[in-house]
Structure 1
Amino acid sequence: MSDRFELYLTCPKGLEGLLADEARGLGLEDVREHTSALRGSADMETAYRLCLWSRLANRVLLVLKRFNMKNADDLYDGVHDVDWQEHLDAAGTLAVEFSGHGSGIDNTHFGALKVKDAIVDKLRNAQGERPSIDKLNPDLRVHLRLERGEAILSLDLSGHSLHQRGYRLQQGAAPLKENLAAAVLIRAGWPRIAAEGGALADPMCGVGTFLVEAAMIAADIAPNLKRERWGFTSWLGHVPALWRKVHDEARARAEAGLARPPLWIRGYEADPRLIQPGRNNVERAGLSDWVKIYQGEVGTFEPRPDQNQKGLVISNPPYGERLGDEASLLYLYQNLGERLRQACLGWEAAVFTGAPDLGKRMGIRSHKQYAFWNGALPCKLLLIKVQPDQFVTGERRSTERNQDQERPAQAAAAEPARLSEGGQMFANRLQKNLKQLGKWAKREHITCYRLYDADMPEYALAVDLYQGWVHVQEYAAPRSVDPEKAQARLFDALAAIPQALGVDQSKVVVKRRERQSGTRQYERQNSQGQFLEVSEGGVKLLVNLTDYLDTGLFLDHRPMRMRIQREAAGKRFLNLFCYTATASVHAAKGGARSTTSVDLSKTYLDWARRNLSLNGYSDKNRLEQGDVMAWLQGNREQYDLIFIDPPTFSNSKRMEGVFDVQRDHVQLLDLAMARLAPGGVLYFSNNFRKFQLDEHLQARYAVEEISATTLDPDFARNSMIHRAWRIQAR
């Protein structure tokens, strides 16, 4: 075999430049970058050193052969021609990985099978002995990459991916891979800061990946020093003496590094469940003297008490992928920015985020930004110098800026971020509405009501109060509106809400409301399972502010529910499309002889059962699961009071056909009226903005539109929130 080899190093997308610099420093020559990879030439000692020392690579591949191929036969022949006896015994184990397509290979499994067959056929001996397949820990792992008709056949020297250092056996919900964490630290300047004796703090450390990677860099520890099994361990071309030389050098450097006084490296984590796993990871890495992890919120974390000590604050805040996350994340980023301004003057900061718009809300300018990828998610690394001239505390007039320049730096840093001009305008409107509606709500003993409903077109939100909680729905902006401007206005509004309403930011939940198809508005969006008990008209009801687009209580139907309560005494009540059966609870409160509630969703019927049970109305209150139209066709009972509030459109798999309220409301009302007892009343309501009641219904029934009387003051600004009719037999 040659003394020099072509090496092919793979890495996460976006790290190619950093990896090229690192690989050159480790001895790789003729370096050329590719997407998620680079290639170069090196001797065996350099190959071993890259395996041991690369903090950024995923794999180190030794290229055996490049050849052109037009079809599967060319693939087989090209692989078969290699002298595999130099690499693997006939009794050894093998794994093959194949990537790419073309040249008649459209299936990677088929490609891998052809490569395996070629190797096995070449190594099969006279006794019929041949290598077997071991996908987990093979003696030899072979890669074949197909690029534009060229096959690149390689041996994997690393074995398992190099990001798997071995210390992180326990991890949080969304951890960074170790090599990505190392790349972020390198981009943030940590090697320079560590060499100068600087400190490092991570205020949201999770299970400590940044902390361990930072300590290994500072202590000059090879990231894979403790790895016991490599891809070259059983390779026949392995040179053990050369490997021992490289490994012994790395061990000596680590011992010397750990013998130095440890740098101050600290992590803080709010979730108590992650503290011990994080500490376990630190201990497995052998860095307990260097790294300490404490429990603490972002708003309380302290860098090193020594005021002369400077360093790096590094953080990977959550990105926000669940419904309702935006509000809590906005406040998290604001708290992080406030803490940096108050406690970290003179430090550097690096914030790695998949939500760079939230990063802008920290109130500190970033002087550099780098693009990264966390898997398939595009991310940004924001580099910040925590200095007063980088602080952004709101929109100020020039005179205010001049005044601020005269203040001491510490005083300016302690000042919380001001609302933007738009945010202050939004806060003023909320306070005005609260003053007006709050008096009405208090007088009527109403604890859940709509405070704001897109009063100002540029702030297209609905803001509802639920007994101390704030539920915010963002209406999707038209395509004509710049998404960045819409996002900025949302953040302005969310920043204003706690100040304007005097609520804790943790009690604000925000959701994006778009046009829904079918029953999507009723589908579960989250799984926190937290129910809040609220009161209305003398009954108790359960709402869920986080898990679904709607909360379980349609606030605009409050007057209708109260009307039903007043009219229900002694009557048999039927609630169709009952949702969480809040109207049935009110009917039972009003003295209904019985209630029957029908809905297709088992989830919402379970919720309805809890609402009824909460008020002691489990008896004589029936819950029926089924398609309302089919249920009405099969039912022969009579009811004195009926309430129908159907969806605009439904195409559930559990029902026959599709329900369309405009098309099907005549049939629905005819079926329901057939179940109405003499002298009974049916209330029909829906929220389809373009709905038109069929004029022929007027000829068959006594129909009266009562929409205006079913709106309380909190919905007076939106008279089209729903329409309602009172219907009786003639």
Structure 2
Amino acid sequence: MSDRYEVFLTCPKGLETLLAEEAGGLGLEDVATQVAAIRGSADLETAYRLCLWSRLANRVLLVLKRFTMANAEDLYQEVLAVDWQEHLAAGGSLAVEFSGHGSGIDNTHFGALKVKDAIVDRLRRDSGQRPSIDKINPDVRIHLRLERGEAILSLDLSGHSLHQRGYRLQQGAAPLKENLAAAVLIRTGWPRIAAEGGALADPMCGVGTFLVEAGMIAADIAPNLRRERWGFSNWLGHVPALWKRLHAEAEERAAAGLARPPLWIRGYEADPRLIQPARNNIERAGLGEWVRVYQGELATFEPRTDKGQSGLVICNPPYGERLGDEASLLYLYQNLGERLRQACLNWEAGVFTGAPELGKRMGIRSHKQYAFWNGALPCKLLLFKVQPQQFVTGERRSAEERDVEPVAAKPAESARLSEGGQMFANRLQKNLKTLGKWARREGVECYRLYDADMPEYALAVDLYRDWVHVQEYAPPRSIDPDKAQARLLDALAAIPQALGVDTAKVVVKRRERQTGTRQYQRQAAQGQFMEVTESGVKLLVNLTDYLDTGLFLDHRPLRLRIQREAAGKRFLNLFCYTATATVHAAKGGARSTTSVDLSKTYLDWARRNLALNGFSDKQRLEQGDVMDWLAADRGEYDLIFIDPPTFSNSKRMEGVFDVQRDHVRLLDLAMARLAKGGVLYFSNNFRKFQLDEGLVERYKVEEISAQTLDPDFARNPKIHRAWRFGL
């Protein structure tokens, strides 16, 4: 076998340049980069050193042969020509990995099978023995890469991927791979900072991957020092004496590094469930004396600043994938920036994020950015120097200076708003000044403050006592998604400042065109219900779990009208949802109430609303398709309320309900149940709805839409239309 080899090192996409620098420092010569890999020339000692010391590579591949091929038979013959007895004992085990396609091979499984067949046939021909296949822990792992008709046949010296250091047996929900974490640390300048005796803190450390990788860099510990099984362990070309010498040198360096006074490396994690797994990982890495982890929220994070200590703050905040994440993530980044400005003056900081637009909201200018990939997700590393000249903050203003009465007593910390954000804040304050007076005068706790008043900020902002519920209307496809997201973030930044609310009490949802029952489907599972009052009635709302909250604010006047007219009446509520109108009818003295809905979830909610107000005995709750229920019912009612969805195609019903198509049959069925002298109120929010003229001819019909809008919806008269029906 040759004394020098061509060596391939694979790595995560985006780490090629860093890996080339690292590998060159470890002795790799003639280094060249390609996508997710580098290649070069090395002797066996250098190849071993790359396995042991590379913090960035996934695999170290020793090239056995390069060849061109036109078809699968060429592949078989070229692999068959290799003297496999130099590499694998005839009775040993192997695994084959194949990547690429072309030359008649479009299936990697087929390509791997041809390589395996050639190796097995050659060993059986030469020795009479057949090796076995072991995909988990083979004696040798063979890799063939096919690209543009050229095949590269290699021996994998690594075994399992080098990012698997062995210390992280417990991990959180979305951990960074160890080699990606090491790359981020190297890009932030941690090797330099560590060499100068600097400190490191991670305020959102999870299970401690940044902390361990930083500790190993600072203590000069080879990242794979503790690995016991390698891809070369049973390779016949392995030179144990050479490997033992390199491994012993690495152990000596680690011992010397750990004997030095430990650097100050600390992690903080809000989730108590991750503290012990993080500590276990740190102990397994041998860094128990160097690294500490504490439970604490971001707001309590305190770096070491005694004796002029400075260093690096590193973190990987969550990226946000669920409904409503925009608000919580925005405020998380704002709080991170605030904490850096307040507690980490003259430190450096690195924020690794899949949502780089949020980094702009931290109130500190990033002086450098690097592109990375976290799997298939494009990410950026934002670098900051925490110095006053880099700060982008504005003056804080009190509620008195804003000339509005704050919704909550605790004002949010303010950062300077963009021009658009300030315009949005001004509009909120103007609306609050007007509508706040009306709400206090009328005793209204929940109302709409803003409803796409400014077309570029297509949001609905509702106040539920001291909470803010924000719905983003999906922008049209003609709007640049990045621009729409930036406007949303501007608005979310403005809300706490304009309204004086705690950022933890801002909930955001995205409203798109709804089909079927999608608007009623569960979005989260927090189960947090809040009690609100409306004209003497107690109601439960849920701001987090569903697209709608359980209380349609625009129907407030209709509910109060029902309460005024319900005394002694038999009340029927169709498509009752959470039965808020039923509670009002019962409060108004209804003789009986009947509420019908298809959803068991909302009928349970309705039952809770009724019980909250002391009503239960005479209140019927019926689960079923409204049209079918009406067709079968023989009851008589004095007061009926119908507020159907625009569309519904629940699995519990046959066919699809379409309010425009089906409203005539619905109203005819309901009017057949209306007692003489009774009243039926019909409302819906389909903006293109047209009431059938035949209904006007058969019944006494009066449109009352304008009478059913309070001041908070006066700006949006198309929110719903309503009619009063009589016989």
Q: TM-score, normalised by structure 1?
A: 0.91
AA at the equivalent of 2:586 = A
- Name the Cα RMSD after superposition: 2.5
Question: Aligned runs of 1:390-401 on 2, under 5 Å?
Answer: 390-394=390-394
Residue matched to 1:709: 707
AA at the equivalent of 1:371 = A
Looking at structure 2, the residues matched to 576 and 113 of structure 1 have their Cα atoms a distance apart, in angstroms, of 64
Please list every run of 5 or more consecutive structure 2 residues that lacks an aligned counterpart in the other structure. Answer: 397-412
AA at the equivalent of 1:466 = Y
After superposition, give the CA deviation of every residue in 1:380-425 in whole Å (9 maximum; x if it has no partner).
11111122221112499xxxxxxxxxxxxxxxxxx96333444333
Looking at structure 2, the residues matched to 387 and 22 of structure 1 have their Cα atoms a distance apart, in angstroms, of 31
- Is the CA contact 1:145–1:153 (under 8 Å) kept in the aligned structure 2? yes
Moved more, 285-294 or 140-149: 140-149
- Is the CA contact 2:394–2:414 (under 8 Å) kept in the aligned structure 1? no
| 1:22 matches 2:22 | yes
AA at the equivalent of 2:119 = I
C-alpha displacement at 1:219, in angstroms?
0.8
Looking at structure 1, the residues matched to 250 and 87 of structure 2 have their Cα atoms a distance apart, in angstroms, of 27
Moved more, 683-692 or 627-636: 627-636
After superposition, give the CA deviation of every residue in 1:501-536 in whole Å (9 maximum; x if it has no partner).
222111111222233333332222233332222222
SS at match of 2:306: coil
- Is the CA contact 1:395–1:421 (under 8 Å) kept in the aligned structure 2? no
| 1:473 matches 2:471 | yes
Residue matched to 2:80: 80
C-alpha displacement at 1:570, in angstroms?
4.2
**Structure 1's 76 and 583: CA in aligned 2 closer, same or farther, altered over 3 A?**
farther
Q: Choose from 533, 536, 539 the match for 2:537.
A: 539
Question: Aligned runs of 1:625-636 on 2, under 5 Å?
Answer: 625-636=623-634
Looking at structure 1, the residues matched to 118 and 567 of structure 2 have their Cα atoms a distance apart, in angstroms, of 84
After superposition, give the CA deviation of every residue in 1:186-220 in whole Å (9 maximum; x if it has no partner).
11111111111111111221221111111111111
C-alpha displacement at 1:620, in angstroms?
4.3
- Is the CA contact 2:449–2:463 (under 8 Å) kept in the aligned structure 1? yes
- Equivalent pairs counted in the alignment come to 711
- Is the CA contact 2:141–2:159 (under 8 Å) kept in the aligned structure 1? yes
AA at the equivalent of 1:543 = V
Looking at structure 2, the residues matched to 624 and 550 of structure 1 have their Cα atoms a distance apart, in angstroms, of 22
**Structure 1's 667 and 216: CA in aligned 2 closer, same or farther, altered over 3 A?**
same
After superposition, give the CA deviation of every residue in 1:269-293 in whole Å (9 maximum; x if it has no partner).
2222222222221111111211112
Moved more, 208-217 or 553-562: 553-562
After superposition, give the CA deviation of every residue in 1:526-554 in whole Å (9 maximum; x if it has no partner).
33332222222333322221222222211
Residue matched to 2:117: 117
Residue matched to 2:408: none
Residue matched to 2:274: 274
**Structure 1's 104 and 438: CA in aligned 2 closer, same or farther, altered over 3 A?**
same
C-alpha displacement at 1:576, in angstroms?
2.7
**Structure 1's 210 and 594: CA in aligned 2 closer, same or farther, altered over 3 A?**
same
C-alpha displacement at 1:23, in angstroms?
1.1
Residue matched to 2:409: none
SS at match of 1:548: coil
Moved more, 259-268 or 415-424: 415-424
Looking at structure 1, the residues matched to 502 and 364 of structure 2 have their Cα atoms a distance apart, in angstroms, of 23
Looking at structure 1, the residues matched to 600 and 12 of structure 2 have their Cα atoms a distance apart, in angstroms, of 44
- Is the CA contact 2:528–2:542 (under 8 Å) kept in the aligned structure 1? yes
Looking at structure 2, the residues matched to 159 and 219 of structure 1 have their Cα atoms a distance apart, in angstroms, of 26
Looking at structure 2, the residues matched to 632 and 41 of structure 1 have their Cα atoms a distance apart, in angstroms, of 82
**Structure 1's 659 and 53: CA in aligned 2 closer, same or farther, altered over 3 A?**
same
After superposition, give the CA deviation of every residue in 1:39-80 in whole Å (9 maximum; x if it has no partner).
222121111111111111111122233333444434433433
Residue matched to 1:219: 219
SS at match of 2:361: helix
Residue matched to 1:316: 316
Looking at structure 1, the residues matched to 680 and 12 of structure 2 have their Cα atoms a distance apart, in angstroms, of 63
Looking at structure 2, the residues matched to 113 and 587 of structure 1 have their Cα atoms a distance apart, in angstroms, of 74
AA at the equivalent of 2:721 = R
Moved more, 655-664 or 234-243: 655-664
Residue matched to 1:664: 662
- Is the CA contact 2:90–2:127 (under 8 Å) kept in the aligned structure 1? no
**Structure 1's 8 and 430: CA in aligned 2 closer, same or farther, altered over 3 A?**
same
Residue matched to 2:235: 235
Residue matched to 1:305: 305
Looking at structure 1, the residues matched to 480 and 457 of structure 2 have their Cα atoms a distance apart, in angstroms, of 13
- Is the CA contact 1:338–1:416 (under 8 Å) kept in the aligned structure 2? no
- Is the CA contact 2:394–2:416 (under 8 Å) kept in the aligned structure 1? yes
**Structure 1's 692 and 416: CA in aligned 2 closer, same or farther, altered over 3 A?**
closer
AA at the equivalent of 2:57 = A
SS at match of 1:361: coil
Q: Percent identity?
A: 85
**Structure 1's 516 and 150: CA in aligned 2 closer, same or farther, altered over 3 A?**
farther
C-alpha displacement at 1:91, in angstroms?
3.4
**Structure 1's 727 and 133: CA in aligned 2 closer, same or farther, altered over 3 A?**
farther
AA at the equivalent of 2:464 = Y
Looking at structure 1, the residues matched to 496 and 49 of structure 2 have their Cα atoms a distance apart, in angstroms, of 55
Question: Aligned runs of 1:132-281 on 2, under 5 Å?
Answer: 132-281=132-281
Residue matched to 2:686: 688
Question: Aligned runs of 1:26-45 on 2, under 5 Å?
Answer: 26-45=26-45
| 1:286 matches 2:286 | yes
Residue matched to 1:514: 512
Looking at structure 2, the residues matched to 126 and 149 of structure 1 have their Cα atoms a distance apart, in angstroms, of 29
Residue matched to 2:367: 367
AA at the equivalent of 2:599 = S
Residue matched to 1:57: 57
Residue matched to 2:400: none
| 1:435 matches 2:433 | yes
Q: Choose from 453, 461, 464 the match for 1:463.
A: 461
- Is the CA contact 2:685–2:721 (under 8 Å) kept in the aligned structure 1? yes
After superposition, give the CA deviation of every residue in 1:424-451 in whole Å (9 maximum; x if it has no partner).
3333332332232223323333211111
Please list every run of 5 or more consecutive structure 1 residues that lacks an aligned counterpart in the other structure. Answer: 397-414
SS at match of 1:450: strand
- Is the CA contact 1:215–1:287 (under 8 Å) kept in the aligned structure 2? yes
After superposition, give the CA deviation of every residue in 1:536-582 in whole Å (9 maximum; x if it has no partner).
23333222212222222111112222223333344443333332232
Moved more, 202-211 or 67-76: 67-76
Looking at structure 2, the residues matched to 364 and 637 of structure 1 have their Cα atoms a distance apart, in angstroms, of 67
**Structure 1's 94 and 605: CA in aligned 2 closer, same or farther, altered over 3 A?**
farther
SS at match of 1:696: helix
Looking at structure 1, the residues matched to 74 and 613 of structure 2 have their Cα atoms a distance apart, in angstroms, of 76
**Structure 1's 520 and 71: CA in aligned 2 closer, same or farther, altered over 3 A?**
farther
Moved more, 11-20 or 339-348: 339-348
C-alpha displacement at 1:128, in angstroms?
8.1
- Is the CA contact 1:205–1:267 (under 8 Å) kept in the aligned structure 2? yes
AA at the equivalent of 2:707 = T
C-alpha displacement at 1:21, in angstroms?
1.0
**Structure 1's 68 and 602: CA in aligned 2 closer, same or farther, altered over 3 A?**
farther
Looking at structure 1, the residues matched to 290 and 176 of structure 2 have their Cα atoms a distance apart, in angstroms, of 21
After superposition, give the CA deviation of every residue in 1:231-253 in whole Å (9 maximum; x if it has no partner).
22222222211111111111111
Looking at structure 1, the residues matched to 622 and 572 of structure 2 have their Cα atoms a distance apart, in angstroms, of 11
AA at the equivalent of 1:658 = V
SS at match of 2:469: strand
**Structure 1's 151 and 590: CA in aligned 2 closer, same or farther, altered over 3 A?**
farther
After superposition, give the CA deviation of every residue in 1:251-280 in whole Å (9 maximum; x if it has no partner).
111111111111111122222222222222
Moved more, 713-722 or 576-585: 576-585
After superposition, give the CA deviation of every residue in 1:338-382 in whole Å (9 maximum; x if it has no partner).
222222222211111111111011111111111111112111111
Moved more, 215-224 or 476-485: 476-485
- Is the CA contact 1:323–1:547 (under 8 Å) kept in the aligned structure 2? no
AA at the equivalent of 1:647 = P
SS at match of 1:137: coil
Moved more, 58-67 or 220-229: 58-67
**Structure 1's 594 and 246: CA in aligned 2 closer, same or farther, altered over 3 A?**
farther
- Is the CA contact 1:98–1:108 (under 8 Å) kept in the aligned structure 2? yes
AA at the equivalent of 2:642 = I
**Structure 1's 456 and 116: CA in aligned 2 closer, same or farther, altered over 3 A?**
same
Looking at structure 2, the residues matched to 195 and 359 of structure 1 have their Cα atoms a distance apart, in angstroms, of 28
C-alpha displacement at 1:626, in angstroms?
3.8
Looking at structure 2, the residues matched to 215 and 583 of structure 1 have their Cα atoms a distance apart, in angstroms, of 62
